[in-house]
Amino acid sequence: ISICRDLPNIEVITFSVNGISDLEPLNQCQNLSELYLRKNNIASLNELFYLKNLPRLRVLWLSENPCCGSDPHHYRMTVLRNLPSLQKLDNQAVTEEELSQALVDGEEITAPPMRRNVENGCLESTESSAAESTTETESELLNFSLEETNKIREELGMKPVPRDKFSSFSPRETDYNRKKRNNVLNAILLLMKELDAEGLEIIQQTVGRRLQALQKKELQEE
Considering the domain boundaries, does residue 99 fall inside one?
yes
User: What is the C-alpha to C-alpha distance for residues 60 and 92, in angstroms, rounded to an integer?
Assistant: 10
Mean pLDDT of 63-77: 94
Contact call for residues 101 and 77 (beta carbons, < 8 A): yes
Integer Rg of the chain from CA:
19
Residue 162, domain member (yes or no) = no
**Residue 26 domain-assigned (yes or no):** yes
- Tell me how many domains the chain contains: 1
Helix (H) or strand (E) holding 89: strand 88-89
Asked if residue 108 has pLDDT above 80, the reply is yes
Domain boundaries, position 69: 2-105
* Mean pLDDT across 159-179: 54
Do 16 and 39 contact (CB within 8 A), yes or no?
A: yes
Q: Which residue has the higher pLDDT, 23 or 142?
A: 23
125 pLDDT band, cuts 50/70/90, is: very low
Residue type, position 42, single letter? I
Which CATH number does the domain housing residue 40 bear? 3.80.10.10
| Residue 155 maps to a domain | no
In a domain, 114, yes or no: no
Contacts of 154 (CB under 8 A, 6+ apart): 160
Let me know if residue 164 belongs to a domain.
Answer: no
Tell me, yes or no, whether 173 lies in a domain: no
User: Is 177 a member of any domain?
Assistant: no
Verdict on whether the full-model pTM lies above 0.85: no
